[in-house]
Amino acid sequence: MGTDIHAPLGRDRKARPDPAGPSRFSAGTVFSALAAVGLLAFSGWTALAPSGLSHAPPTVPAEEAATDGDTAVAGRAPAERDGVRREKGLSGARVSETMTDDGSVVRTFTPGTRDGKGPLILEASRIGQDARSAAFPNEDLLEETPEGRIPVIGLDGTRPMDQYARPWSGARGTRIAIVVGGLGLSQTGTQRAIRELPGEVTLAFAASGNSLARWMQDARRDGHEILLQMPMEPFDYPQNDPGPYTLRTDTGRQKTIADLHRAMARITNYTGIVNFMGGRFLADADALEPVMRDIAGRGLLFLDDGSSAQSLSGTIAGAIEAPHAFADLQLDGELAREAILRKLDELERIARRNGTAIGIASAFDESVDAIREWCEEAGGRGIEIVGVASLAGMPAGQ
């Protein structure tokens, strides 16, 4: 094998003497050199061009920071759909990606560069919306439908339940979510709940309430995570009627989804749906499954208030890998301050035993007063009050 690096690749021959005498610039030598340079240039361009052949793509902004170390491994970047990379620009982090021999992608996250101007805002949680814009919806997470504008997962994969979630510390201590529902039904009651309850408390707005857009903005400005409270058919319907927008078991799938969407369009900036009543509907798999699929497919969680022992929401959520949570206790079944405080203490015992717990109440004056008082003391006992989205079970791979 010759050792001349300028010899054409793939050839194994000895140099022949030139009958006209040695010449460093013969036509054959020049051609060989040009061919070698061209081949090397093409190989370098192939390795560096953004064609998918590169094993080390250029550093690009990541849509989220890693939570369990400096390196994350995934099958593909979350900001990639249909072969198109999209950037969320939420965190300012940067990520380098390397494809391994088995086809998986290793992503290494590093902080983005700063120009040294303006304040530096540090957030322990990787989810949630900036408080300065919390009252405004992300237009990329809304879809125009015949029933109105309703939530949808963004093109970059952002889910409403992540965008509008209340940030939390990220510490794995005792965490409790408290949901207060029925907002929007009474002006004075709604105003008082928003004003008196700490921002850590999740507020649920009734689908049939009044002035929901106004109250939503007030609640979000005060730091509350919010849910949409969806009426569902109870066992004794119509004697016990939850009101307008009630989802029923006998209306058929198409009308049920249309009714759901009409209710969804009444408000924005919520992380999920919580049922109001609904013993019969929650126990009917044929009626409930398409509703759960639609809710999860729009990037929302479903909170079961725990009022029906026959509810199938957890079973269906597990089967379709939907974000889901159960309330552990109804806090104001007995409408008295001392009774509600006892229930809150019981909720704390559940949380210390299991790590987390969810309590639910209505926006009665007695409930608001007791919850506010209890929350003021909970932090001193090492309890973190969090938004319900941080406790909703995530589907595999999320």
Residue 93 and residue 149 in one domain: no
Answer whether residue 115 shows pLDDT above 70: no
Please check whether residue 79 lies inside any domain of the structure.
Answer: yes
At residue 48, the pLDDT reads 52
Among residues 222, 217, 316, the alpha carbon closest in space to that of 275 is found at 316
Q: Helices (DSSP H) in the chain: which residue ranges?
A: 27-48, 160-163, 187-196, 212-221, 253-264, 279-282, 285-297, 313-320, 337-354, 365-378
CATH number of the domain residue 148 falls in: 3.20.20.370
Residue 190 and residue 264 in one domain: yes
Answer whether residue 12 shows pLDDT above 80: no
Answer whether residue 25 shows pLDDT above 70: no
Higher pLDDT, 120 or 346: 346
DSSP strand E in the chain: where? 60-61, 71-74, 80-81, 84-85, 94-99, 105-110, 142-145, 148-151, 174-183, 202-206, 226-232, 272-277, 301-304, 324-326, 329-330, 356-362, 383-385
At residue 390, the pLDDT reads 94
Residue 88 and residue 175 in one domain: no
Please check whether residue 104 lies inside any domain of the structure.
Answer: yes
Answer whether residue 218 shows pLDDT above 50: yes
User: Token match 């992608």: residue?
Assistant: 105
Alpha carbon distance 118, 125 (integer Å): 21
Q: What's the distance, CA 233 to chain centroid?
A: 29
Answer whether residue 53 shows pLDDT above 50: no
- The predicted model gives 344-362 an average pLDDT of 97
At residue 396, the pLDDT reads 36
Sorting pLDDT into bands at 50, 70 and 90, what band is 194? very high
Length of the chain: 398
Please check whether residue 11 lies inside any domain of the structure.
Answer: no
Alpha carbon distance 324, 394 (integer Å): 7
Higher pLDDT, 17 or 31: 31
Structure confidence by residue, pLDDT tens digits, 144-190: 999 999 999 999 999 999 999 999 998 889 999 999 999 999 999 99
Paired strand residues for 85: 80
Number of domains observed in the structure of the chain: 2
Instruction: Supply the range of the domain harboring residue 64.
Output: 60-110
| % of residues, the chain, pLDDT over 90 | 63
11-25, 93-107, 348-362: range with lowest mean pLDDT:
11-25
At residue 42, the pLDDT reads 59
Residue 90 and residue 193 in one domain: no
Residue 87 and residue 196 in one domain: no
Residue 275 and residue 322 in one domain: yes
Tokens, residue 274: 């919580």
At residue 81, the pLDDT reads 38
At residue 15, the pLDDT reads 46
Q: What's the distance, CA 220 to chain centroid?
A: 17
Paired strand residues for 319: none
Please check whether residue 340 lies inside any domain of the structure.
Answer: yes
Residue 160: strand, helix, or coil: helix
Structure confidence by residue, pLDDT tens digits, 224-269: 999 999 999 999 999 999 999 999 999 999 999 999 999 999 999 9
Phi, psi for residue 259 in degrees, rounded to 5: -65, -40
Sorting pLDDT into bands at 50, 70 and 90, what band is 59? very low
Residue 219 and residue 158 in one domain: yes
Higher pLDDT, 88 or 156: 156
At residue 106, the pLDDT reads 65
Residue 267: strand, helix, or coil: coil
Sorting pLDDT into bands at 50, 70 and 90, what band is 120? very low
Q: Distances from the Cα of 25 to the Cαs of 18, 21, 119, in angstroms?
A: 12, 12, 64
Please check whether residue 304 lies inside any domain of the structure.
Answer: yes
Please check whether residue 317 lies inside any domain of the structure.
Answer: yes
Answer whether residue 328 shows pLDDT above 90: yes
Please check whether residue 169 lies inside any domain of the structure.
Answer: yes
At residue 5, the pLDDT reads 42
In eight-state DSSP terms, residue 27 is H
Residue 265 and residue 182 in one domain: yes
Alpha carbon distance 192, 379 (integer Å): 23
Sorting pLDDT into bands at 50, 70 and 90, what band is 333? very high
CB neighbour list of residue 254: distance below 8 Å, 6 or more residues apart:
none
Among residues 299, 47, 1, 251, the alpha carbon closest in space to that of 154 is found at 299
